[in-house]
Amino acid sequence: MDYIYYVFMIEEIFFEAVGWIFSHLPMIAALIFMIFMNYTQKNKTRKKFPPIKKPQPKAQPAPSDPRDIGFEIPELKRAPEAKPQDGVYREQQSADSLAIEAEELADEQNRYMKYLKEKTEQEKIMREEEEKTYRAQAKLSAEARKPLELPPVTPQALATGIIYEEILGKPKALRKRKF
């Protein structure tokens, strides 16, 4: 009899403990998370030692003569003589290629001159059309050019305008507030 009583007591204590754990589970999870974060922060803030510096090779002094490259260039047998140049490679051109290049240059200049003539003619035509429209507008009577007369501003007209603005304007929720 006593044995069964103890079993029921242990069972009751167990279920109460489990119920308490489940009722306080979010708090327990938050506590475990805070302990974990505190531990990781402590490990991250430990002082790290700088890496050991390796010895670097010492810089060689610059040569006094800029043409001195540090070694001698051997003589090349049967090599053509090098002419002093400005650093740009220039290919030897034959008379035929020079004539072809001159023809191409002349053709290009002719095309450009033709383009300029066409452009000036088009601009002249456009200017003439603009002048015609300007003269036609100038011939209009003074009454036709007169701007529309606006109705007089009265309190009734202002009230009507505000009503139209409320009806036709943006909804109040979409308006920007001005304080």
CA distance 168 to 19: 62
At 146, the amino acid letter reads K
CA distance 28 to 36: 12
Contacts of 70 (CB under 8 A, 6+ apart): 63
Please tell me the predicted confidence (pLDDT) of residue 11: 80
Please tell me the predicted confidence (pLDDT) of residue 144: 66
At 147, the amino acid letter reads P
At 93, the amino acid letter reads Q
Structure tokens at 160: 């009507």
Looking at the predicted structure, is the pLDDT value of residue 1 above 60?
no
CA distance 1 to 9: 12
Say which residue, 169 or 7, is predicted with more confidence: 169
User: 90-136 pLDDT, tens per residue?
Assistant: 677 777 888 898 999 999 999 999 999 999 999 999 999 998 888 88
pTM over 0.75: no
Q: Tell me what the mean pLDDT of segment 66-75 comes to.
A: 75
Could you identify the residue written with the tokens 């300007």? 134
CA distance 86 to 70: 23
Could you identify the residue written with the tokens 């601009």? 123
Cβ neighbourhood burial of 80 (10 Å; 0-12, 13-18, 19+): exposed
Helix H or strand E segment including 80: none
Do 63 and 70 form a contact (C-beta atoms < 8 A)?
A: yes
User: 6-63 pLDDT, tens per residue?
Assistant: 777 778 888 888 887 778 788 888 888 888 888 777 666 666 778 888 888 887 776 6
Q: What share of the chain is helix, strand, coil (3-state, %, to 5)?
A: 60, 0, 40
